[in-house]
Structure 1
């Protein structure tokens, strides 16, 4: 079942269950899907990779907002963002653990022959392609930097 059909079914369930937080997040996902499908140059259908990128973008937006709201002591808004993030993450592929990520990046560094922080761009290019959807870009970047500065 496509993401759009899954989201529509989840919206109905959230409405029946009167789950306001779930409904907010699901409607945001549905809106993002509609925008992506009707964007200029779009084919009308989203691939699984497009859906994954869309969900990652929504999750990143929620994480960034959550960080800002916590920094500004706006716990009321932070709670809403956190609730939406939990719902969005249900549809994302399982994220790699730090140990799995470290192993994958170590392998990538070995295959690219990188040895210094100057090679970070080379490693990041390969890592972001291989680990797309499996790990957060910030986490990948931080770990690549840490491993190359050793």
Structure 2
């Protein structure tokens, strides 16, 4: 079953259960997917849908950080609940150890030796971990292993 179909089915389930919080988040995801579908002018495949979900997840994660910095615990709590719903549609995230292993393999493959090769390493690593790891974590792993 495609990711878009799964989201549609979960929306129906949330409607029947009268779960307003979950339904609201799923509707936001559905709207983002529809906007992307109109933008690319064809039905989204799972990879494209996953990119949209990852973008929505990242936006909520950044909002959560900002709300915490601004001492807005009420908004932070709501955003945390939204993140839990969006997380269900994200692929399993890589652990820090897995990221570091991929970075180490890529560094040896590319032949990077110092921080001047940072861009080359990041360019080779990011396609491997796309959607499975946060770019900030990958960035930190590459910096620590190149320095």
TM-score when scaled to structure 1? 0.94
Match for residue 23 of structure 1? 23
User: 2: CA distance between counterparts of 1:19 and 1:117?
Assistant: 50
Which residues of structure 2 form unaligned runs of 5+?
none
Partner SS state of residue 66, structure 1: helix
**3-state SS, counterpart of residue 110 of structure 1:** helix
Query: Counterparts of 2:50 and 2:7 in 1: how far apart (Å)?
Result: 13
CA RMSD, 1 decimal = 1.0
Matches within 5 A, 1:44-123: 44-123=42-121
C-alpha deviation, 1:116, in angstroms: 0.7
CA displacement at 1:60 relative to structure 2: 0.3
Aligned residue number for residue 2 of structure 1: 2
| Structure 1 moving runs of 4+ over 6 Å | none
CA distance in 2, matches of 1:43, 1:109: 38
Segments of structure 1 that go 5 or more residues without pairing to the other structure are: none
Query: What SS is found at the alignment partner of 1:91?
Result: coil
CA distance in 1, matches of 2:20, 2:76: 15
Q: 1:89 deviation in Å? A: 0.9
1:34 is aligned to 2:34: yes
Structure 1 residues 107-146: aligned runs within 5 Å: 107-146=105-144
Structure 2: distance between partners of 1:6 and 1:92: 12
Distance (whole Å) between structure 2 residues aligned to residue 25 and residue 72 of structure 1: 23
